[in-house]
Structure 1
Amino acid sequence: MSDSGLSNCGCCAGLDAETPARIDNPPGQSAIAYRVGVHASFKESFLARLSSGDLPALSSLTTRRDGDFTLALGDALATSLDVLTFYQERYANEHYLRTATERRSILEMARLVGYELAPGVAASTRLAFSLQEVPGNPALAAGPVVIPIGTRVQSVPGPGEQAQTFETVGEVEAHVEWNAIPVQSSEAWHPKAGDKALWLAGLSTGLHVGDAILIVGQDRVEQPASGQWELRLLTSVEEDRERQRTRVGWDVGLRDLSAAMKSAPVGVSVYALRQRAALFGHNAPEPKLMFNANNPPPSALTDIEIKEANYGDFFYPEFQWETLHWKDFTIRNNHIDLDVAYPKVTPGSWLALISNDTRSSHGSGFPGDIELYRASIVSFPSRSDFGLAGKITRIVPDKAPKPAAFPLKETLVLAHSELLPVAPSPLLYPLFGSELSLDHPVTGIGAGRALAVSGKRARIRLRKGERERDLALTREATVKIAEGDSLRLAAAPEEHSAGAWRALTPEEFGQRVAQADPKKLRFRLLVPDGREGFVEAPAAAFELAPAEKTDDDVQEIAVVGVLADALPDRGRTSLPLSMPLEHCYDRDTARVNANVTSATHGETVSEVLGSGDARVANAHFALRQAPLTYLRSTGSATGRKSTLELRVNDLLWTEVPSLYGRGPAERVYEIAIDDEARATLRFGDGVEAARLPSGDHNIRAAYRKGVGLAGNLPAGRLTTLLSRPLGVTGVTNPGAASGGKDPEREENARKNAPLSVKTLERVVSIRDYEDFARGYADIVKAHALWIPGGPARGVFLTVAAEGGKPLKADSVCDLQAALHRYGDPLMPIQVVNYREVAFQLRMTIKARPDADRKLVMAEVESRLAAYFGFEARSFGQSVSVDEVLAMAQAVMGVEAAQVIELHRRDKTSPKFVARLYAELPVASVAGSPQGAELLTLDGASLIVEFMP
């Protein structure tokens, strides 16, 4: 092992010792540097030590050839040390949350602080069941059916998907008449100021344009002096053959009648006045045509009155014959005499006197004064008067007539009143908002009951003669709306009030459209290809249009709120809703299914785990099926609970988070989920928690398997009944199944594990509210704000669910309940979803000549999408052009980059803004703030191009 051929020049003395290397770990690194050397440095250090004067015994080892045994041994040692230090560094990294890469490492470290990685949560939805119907023979239809807990329903999988099983978690009594309840599409007609039309039942009304109708209130029936009546001249008569009804209209709106007339359930009657007549004497001849100086009236006649005779001398030569009038030529003796006999004029019927004085009008469509009378007595005597004779109709009215107001010759009489059946008036507005009125009375629907609402979207149409409108789809893309175009409503119309947009109620919207209100509204509309846009226009520009047969149905779940008193129209049931409807429905197509119950993802499994042995401490058993289903729960700080039910010797044992501190007689167990989603049950040792009692196959478990995103199914996918209760024919999920969450990923566990020791299952400070919410099931981002005063006083929480989806109403209620449970139960807590704001980006890059241009562009787009995606951004985080350039230039193969456009989509800002800001809620005593904004890249509008 010596070489006499080596010189003493020092060139073979070896290198300096390089190990152990100095370890330096600056803060903020994603990995820990923990290696004291690598193979090369270890070998160099070995060679250096061979030449060291500190080790004279090795001075004779002068060769440096790799084939030498000593050097080969040193090389092997360097290799071993290289492997050892590599794993030592990995071992060190696995002991810190930030640097650990193995799920098992994060899981075990989290357990040190009492945190378990979330095992995933099952999706939940509501199922609407249909019962068997027998058209034409309701007696043979299915009676009330109890749909039990555990009823299984399976999904129809899409391409590349697997069928998912859901089970009901609530019992419901279903009724066949609840399969498809029509919503209120009409209302009983009560006259109100401004009305210009009403609907009559049937098509055979016999009415035509120019006919008269009479509207009489009950108060006028009982009190002749009452003014609760209206007479109108018809200007339109339209038949609706599909619904067997007739619409009659007039030009002048009704007066504002008394509240009693508008609210009395049976206080209004409508009549057609079929007969146009005249008063007796209307065709009496003029006296001056019958008598003159050569033929004076005989003195015996008493039906001629001489007026303005000079000196009162009847035969005075200067008498003016043109001033002769019939004596008592007026309505007299409180009788109303009609010109001929009208046999259809009967006692109790109505008649109207119209003065026909063209100098005045009261808006009825008829000239002059109008007075309404009711016939108390009707007779048909003969009368001879005013040079006339014949059978007449004599009416004794219910009140004294006014002779001076109604001259015999000019007055028009409308008589022969015929009662018309008034049909309910169609509701001229879509179905949306926080109230759901059914078409008929329905009993048994109480507060908290879920309803499945389905139907086609309501449509509005741009009126004829209106100018084109621009429907804004994005910041720059618009679609023209021309007159006659019909578009679907995507949401409730809004008006600008008090500096903000406020959703109108259905009644307000209907009134604005009916009255052609010029005030500007904002409409969210869907174009035929399904894209959504906004347009601002006055209500007068649009009119309601019927839904089209080709329109797709939409559906959702609505929950009945606190029931109020019945509305004045008692012919139907009106239900307040806990949350406004998501869609705007066409009332003629909307239906409600009340046979609804909750269901969650997962399939029930029952198995015998094994036999207990009291001699064994801390016994453990594993479930054979995985993954164990977990459901949302307000009873735990994590917001979830397992579906496991464990019985030992038929006695129920209780799951606890930890056996620590439990008494020796407590029948409890804990569940541990490994990194392969297998659940293991651990029992006590007799000191902390009870041991399992001895027995043969005495440990039985019932649980459900299945969790995760696979259960988040779209609406209408759960349609296969695996267990079919008697009488049930169909099922569907009107709303999407949501809330399913995969087992917690390592990235989230790094952030969430410390939260458990921050709050320690108690919520005190404003930061506690934020940390607690972020660690709660379904929630991945949260921001808390304290509002010290005003209507929104309390904690204001902005949250975001997995994947950037909004948190469902049920989850919001669960979170609020959990915060009250672990915090101040009297603290006002408002939870809102975040506001997603997208920004558009257009940039150019220059690739290296030797780079693959396609791969470079794909990598740039991928990195930008990830860096500015939902997972990587925080509420209120801004976006700068520097960040964009840094991400693009970090891609290998990019030589240069330039940002051309950078702007928010929702603001009319310049196309290039160096820094984009996202808003955070600000406390105000004036009202509630808006949720926090999250600024993310709009991937659809991202444009990356190569420089020329």
Structure 2
Amino acid sequence: MRALARSAHVLTEHIDANSNETFLATATEWENLRKLVALLNYRPAPQSSASTTLALLAAEGISGTFDKGFGVKSKPDDGSAPVIFETLEAIDLDADLNALRAADWNRSTATLAQSGDIVTFPLAAALEGSSVGDVGVLACMNTFVAVSLAGLAPDALQLKLHNPAPGWPAQPSLADTTLWLTARSRRAPKVSGQNVVSLPPGGIPVADGSVLMWYQGGNWQAARVEASEGSRIVLDRNGPSAGTEVFLALEAHRQRYTIDDDGHEENRIVLPLEADRQSGALFTPGLVRVGEASVQTVSDAHDYLASPGYYWLYYTTGDQLLDSVSYASQLSVELSGKAESLSTGDLLVVEDQDGEYSAAHLESLDAGADSVQLELTPSPVNAALLQGNFRHRLRPAGFDRNTASIMDGDYNIRLQSLPASLKPGRRVIVSDGARARQALVTQVDRAANRIRLQPPAEGFAAWNTLIYGNAVAAGHGETAREKVLGSGDATLGNQTFELKADDLSHIADPAFAQGVRADIEVRVDDRQWLQVYSLGDSGPEDHHYAVALLENGNASLSFGDGTHGRRLPTGNNNVRVRYRRGAGLVGNLSPAGWSRRSAATPGSMLSCSRCPPAAAMTGKIPPPCGTMPRPRP
């Protein structure tokens, strides 16, 4: 009875176990489960292999076809094993497509904030070596204006505009604005202006307040000297033209004379005879000309004016000739000494006699032995001080950042340059450094240098976005050396071989129900056979094989039976296989893990998967190593 009970128990347990293995919901054995789902034309999904798109950077001048199979690997800082990816397709490589930029990517569309005569100038970094009151020049395109520093903060300057020209823009563009600030050179020029004349150097010194006379336009004229600096003389009115002879005036004072024997007295101004002085060159203290008709001859030695209403008058003689005028209306600026830090093209701040500032451009300079002549635009009037050789040359913060969208309203991108090799259908990577997106070039307008991408590059700004045109699909895994899978036997149907690779790489393929297929290449007698999802749809002459995963993680390769798929031909070790290994979560790297040099992972870099670290990519294609694909010209 005891033996019967035991036998019944074992038998019922065995029957129950077998029964469980025939139902999908209760099966526990891998092989039974695989056979059950195969009845539904389904196979267990393989473990995924990570995939990505890589941007290749070709050396300058390089172009040609780059075969698939180029391997790159990460170099983790934590010492873990590198992860290897290989390119999955050939690519037409062109150095001109390395990194494309949008047109005007480095030109800001913003303007300087301005309120009245105060402009806010944003700073990229705190400014040192300047203080409130410093002067400078603010330039925008072809216009410029003198400014003084009205306020200083770590992130911005407050600049006061001085005498802006009519062409100064109401909203200066950040992209076109430059500031020169804090002059290191301060030099007082010689006097200049409409009333300034120059006499040849080395002549008779002319004192301030003296009177000069010259004959021009049929009359004698006179002007008082307001200031004299060497050969330059400032007059109180418009002076003589260049080439005119200039005389220094003499003074004749009124005296009291007894004019007859009766003792009558009279005020007289005694003058040299007309033959001894310049006839008609007589002027009152107010420089009003006196006619010669008023002059009388008193003796053979002197002439006189009787009872004049003033105490003296001015006259001149031939002996008082100073020289001929070298320059009239002397508007050019002249400095004593050497040019020092000045050079053509400089911008200067000009301070006039009234303390007003203006800006000028140094067009040219002519250096002499002891002075230098400057040609300024605009030509200053009454310049008292020139300031230049500025300590700082500043661009406003963000001047080179076009923060506008990389796309226009029609989803087009206008490029800085459009290489001839960029054509519709090209895969690209759009990246701003923080994120990246794969896209496809759908339209190319060469006349306007514009392209259109799908999907559109929404959310990307022009200033920091690069479009990598040498983009190629890559997948996790490393190609193993070709190996013999086995020998074919035409007398057998459905020959099956086990490929011992528990981390077989898979790549995307929409023709397979699971969306991926094993990255395997099978050659029989040097002919490549085609991998299919199932041999059920294969014809008797189709060179097809199917791949199924086994419980131990290896793969089973099945061939046809002559009805569904062709049988293998008979041969000795004539079935050979090449495959890639690499799968699982280890391939899920962060984007920084694949950068050539990343701030997030400073040690990470790309390198050939079969080369030593010295072959790491540094912006150029590494030298071919025998196992890497070579670019074909």
Under a length normalisation based on structure 2, what TM-score does the superposition of the two structures give? 0.50
Structure with the larger strand share: 2
RCO comparison, higher one (Cα < 8 Å, 6+): 2
Under a length normalisation based on structure 1, what TM-score does the superposition of the two structures give? 0.35
When Rg is computed on C-alpha atoms for both structures, the one with the higher figure is 2
